[in-house]
């Protein structure tokens, strides 16, 4: 995890830490008032602790202080959270008579929640070795306070040393688990960042591939419409030019034919542009879009249409619907332009997955020869099918028609 992000995350804990500290002090105050008729701890103990908690809250809300203090920001917060309560507790214990409330165990129970808060910040920000230094530092600091306040002939230091050992072990165990969880979190975040980068690269590649395929489709559309029309028109006009001076009567029908070819090409070009601009899937849904596509193709190519569509289709993922529509579009366009067929059959079913079948009774072809020739339409259909995990089958023989079947068994929804 980057240092800047780690600082940001740690600072978000500070208002919560200050609120917990103030709530903890209030709970101790109420508990002392309910358990004992006389105050167990003096008022200045709660006042100083409250001021320290308020100082942490102020540091958390002071945005310029983060920049001004720099790397000393979090160490200052952790010092207020750990050193102040330990010092105050030791002073109170030395001023009061020995009793249950001032025993080493009772003092440990008062300071441990606050030490755990400081430990969480340490593990969150700095990791396991900082936890070891923090635990060892607090042990040395606490032992030093006991030695400073120790008087010959006074209570033995063995209970205090035992409590320090328990405190250190507790901090180390809890700190180890927190630092381990933070390390795993950083690793997962790094893995997620890498996966996101790979996904972004894959999406960019897929977008480029989609754009390339769409360009190829546009090239095919223009080749099958505008280029064919202009080629036929060029031939007709050359014939008109040749006959114009020799036999004007013969040139007139040729000119009429050229005009007919021009109008037909214009209609085909407009149809292709409309197909490129429209979004029938968004407007109609996949079933109605396929119906409209088949109907328009059959009418344009003067084909007899056999259409079998289900009354209901399950909700499909947009990628699956796009694949179904584009394969149907490419297959029906091939029938209209290349098959020399009389009948076009389009079937769509959802019995076991989703199946699209487009067949004709035209002249057919050799699929292996078509693959070797590198026809972009067939390659594009296979690529689209692979992207959605489907299976594309092309069955055809010369003189026996063609059947293109797309099957998606586990269609994502």
- pLDDT tens for residues 3-48? 444 445 445 677 887 888 888 888 888 877 777 656 667 788 888 8
Res 72: pLDDT: 75
Res 144 pLDDT > 70: yes
Distance (Å, rounded) from C-alpha 363 to C-alpha 371? 17
DSSP designation for 396: E
3-state SS assignment for residue 395: strand
Residues 114 and 15 in one domain: yes
Upper half-sphere CA count for residue 162 (Cβ side, 13 Å) = 7
Residues 195 and 295 in one domain: no
| Number of domains the chain is built from | 2
What are the angstrom distances between the C-alpha of 150 and each of 144, 156, 157?
A: 10, 9, 8
Assigned domain for 264 exists: no
pLDDT, average across residues 162-188: 87
List, in order, residues 6 or more apart from 265 with CB less than 8 Å away. Answer: 225, 226, 228, 229, 230, 232, 233
Residues 175 and 318 in one domain: no
Q: Are 134 and 122 in contact (CB under 8 A)?
A: yes
pLDDT tens for each residue of 347-404: 999 877 899 999 999 998 888 776 555 556 788 888 888 888 899 999 998 888 999 9
Res 405: pLDDT: 94
Residues 82 and 192 in one domain: yes
Res 7: pLDDT: 47
Percent of the chain with pLDDT over 90: 9
Residues 188 and 329 in one domain: no
Comparing 205 with 401, the larger pLDDT belongs to: 401
Assigned domain for 357 exists: yes
Res 194 pLDDT > 50: yes
- With DSSP H G I counted as helix, E B as strand and the rest as coil, what are the percentages for the chain, rounded to 5? 75, 10, 15
Comparing 10 with 196, the larger pLDDT belongs to: 196
Whichever domain contains 397, its CATH number is 3.30.565.10
Res 303 pLDDT > 80: yes
List, in order, residues 6 or more apart from 117 with CB less than 8 Å away. Answer: 17, 20, 21, 81
Comparing 123 with 146, the larger pLDDT belongs to: 123
3-state SS assignment for residue 340: coil
pLDDT, average across residues 110-126: 82
Please state which of the ranges 246-255, 302-311, 367-376 shows the lowest mean pLDDT. Answer: 367-376
Give the domain extent around 399.
Answer: 285-413
Residues 10 and 152 in one domain: yes
Q: Residue 403 forms beta bridges with which residues?
A: 359, 395
Assigned domain for 326 exists: yes
- Which of 199, 231, 259 is where one domain is finished? 199
- Which of 199, 232, 266 is where one domain is finished? 199
Please state which of the ranges 221-225, 307-311, 402-406 shows the lowest mean pLDDT. Answer: 221-225
Q: Are 359 and 345 in contact (CB under 8 A)?
A: yes
Residues 41 and 165 in one domain: yes
Res 256 pLDDT > 50: yes
Q: How many residues does the structure list for the chain?
A: 413
Question: What is this structure's pTM?
Answer: 0.46
Res 151: pLDDT: 66
* Alpha helices per DSSP H over 223-247: 228-244
pLDDT, average across residues 148-162: 70
Distance (Å, rounded) from C-alpha 59 to C-alpha 56? 5
pLDDT tens for each residue of 90-102: 777 776 665 555 6
Assigned domain for 259 exists: no
Residues 11 and 141 in one domain: yes
Nearest C-alpha neighbor of 56 from the set 30, 43, 75, 28: 75
Assigned domain for 185 exists: yes
Assigned domain for 36 exists: yes
pLDDT tens for each residue of 54-77: 887 787 777 676 667 777 777 787
Assigned domain for 266 exists: no
Res 30: pLDDT: 83
Q: Are 140 and 21 in contact (CB under 8 A)?
A: no
Residues 60 and 154 in one domain: yes
Q: Residue 396 forms beta bridges with which residues?
A: 402
Assigned domain for 328 exists: yes
- Which of 199, 218, 244 is where one domain is finished? 199
Residues 28 and 168 in one domain: yes
Res 71: pLDDT: 75
């Amino acid at each position: 995890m980057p240092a800047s992000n780690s600082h940001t995350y740690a600072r978000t804990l500070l208002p919560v830490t200050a609120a917990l500290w103030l709530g903890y002090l209030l709970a101790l105050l109420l508990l002392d008032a309910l358990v004992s008729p006389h105050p167990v701890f003096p008022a200045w103990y709660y006042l100083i602790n409250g001021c320290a908690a308020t100082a942490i809250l102020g540091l958390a809300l002071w945005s310029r202080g983060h920049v001004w203090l720099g790397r000393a920001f979090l160490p200052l917060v952790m010092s207020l959270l750990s050193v102040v309560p330990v010092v105050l507790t030791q002073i109170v214990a030395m001023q009061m008579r020995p009793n249950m409330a001032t025993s080493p165990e009772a003092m440990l129970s008062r300071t441990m929640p606050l030490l755990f808060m400081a430990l969480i910040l340490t593990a969150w920000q700095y990791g396991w070795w900082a936890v070891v230094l923090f635990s060892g530092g607090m042990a040395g600091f606490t032992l030093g306070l006991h030695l400073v306040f120790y008087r010959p002939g006074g209570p033995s230091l063995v209970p205090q040393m035992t409590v320090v050992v328990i405190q250190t072990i507790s901090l180390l165990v809890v700190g180890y688990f927190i630092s381990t969880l933070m390390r795993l979190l950083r690793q997962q975040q790094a893995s997620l960042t890498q996966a996101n980068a790979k996904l972004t690269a894959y999406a960019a590649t897929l977008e480029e591939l989609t754009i390339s395929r769409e360009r190829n489709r546009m090239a095919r559309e223009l080749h099958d419409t505008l280029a064919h029309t202009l080629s036929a028109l060029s031939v007709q006009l050359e014939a008109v030019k040749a006959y114009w001076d020799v036999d004007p009567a013969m040139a007139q029908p040729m000119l009429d034919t050229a005009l007919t070819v021009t109008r037909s090409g214009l209609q085909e070009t407009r149809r292709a542009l409309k197909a490129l601009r429209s979004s029938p899937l968004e407007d109609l849904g996949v079933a109605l879009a396929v119906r409209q596509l088949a109907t328009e193709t059959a009418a344009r190519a003067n084909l007899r249409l056999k259409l079998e569509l289900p009354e209901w289709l399950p909700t499909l993922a947009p990628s699956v619907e796009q694949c179904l529509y584009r394969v149907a579009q490419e297959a029906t366009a091939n029938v209209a332009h290349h098959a020399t067929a009389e009948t076009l059959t389009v079937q769509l079913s959802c019995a076991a997955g989703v199946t699209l079948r487009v067949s004709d009774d035209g002249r057919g072809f050799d699929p292996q020869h078509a693959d070797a020739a590198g026809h972009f339409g067939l390659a594009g259909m296979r690529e689209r099918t692979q992207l959605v995990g489907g299976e594309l089958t092309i069955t055809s023989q010369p003189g026996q028609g063609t059947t293109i079947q797309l099957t998606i068994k586990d269609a994502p929804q």
